[in-house]
Amino acid sequence: VELSVRFHPDEKRIYELHQRIGADYANKVIRPAARSQVRVVIAQYPVSDVYAAQRENIERKIEDALRKSLESN
C-alpha cells in the first residue's frame, strides 16, 4: 500500500510545532501517524476490498482518522 500525505500546518501555530517537536516534525509526527492510521483502517478490510471495491471508502476513513489524530496533537 502506498500513501501520500499532503498537509498544511496552521500558520498561526506553526511555531508550536517547531518549539515542541522541531523542524523535522513531518518525520517525527506526520509519517508515524499516517502509518499507524493506515494499518488500523486497512486491518478492517479483506485484501480484495483494499485494492478494489472499497478503495474510496478506505481512503476517506484513513483521511478522517489521520485528521483526528493530528488535530489532537
Q: Count the helix, strand and coil residues of the chain and give each as a percent rounded to the nearest 5.
A: 65, 0, 35
> Given this model, what pLDDT does residue 3 score?
84
Q: 17-52, pLDDT tens digit by residue?
A: 899 999 999 999 999 999 999 999 999 998 888 888
- DSSP labels, 43-61: TTS-HHIIIIITHHHHHHH
Contact criterion met (CB below 8 Å) for 56 and 24: no
Using DSSP's 3-state secondary structure scheme, residue 5 falls into coil
Is pLDDT at 55 greater than 90 in this prediction? no
Question: For all residues of the chain together, what is the average pLDDT?
Answer: 90
Confidence band for 73, pLDDT divided at 50, 70 and 90: low
Tell me what percent of the residues of the chain surpass a pLDDT of 90: 58
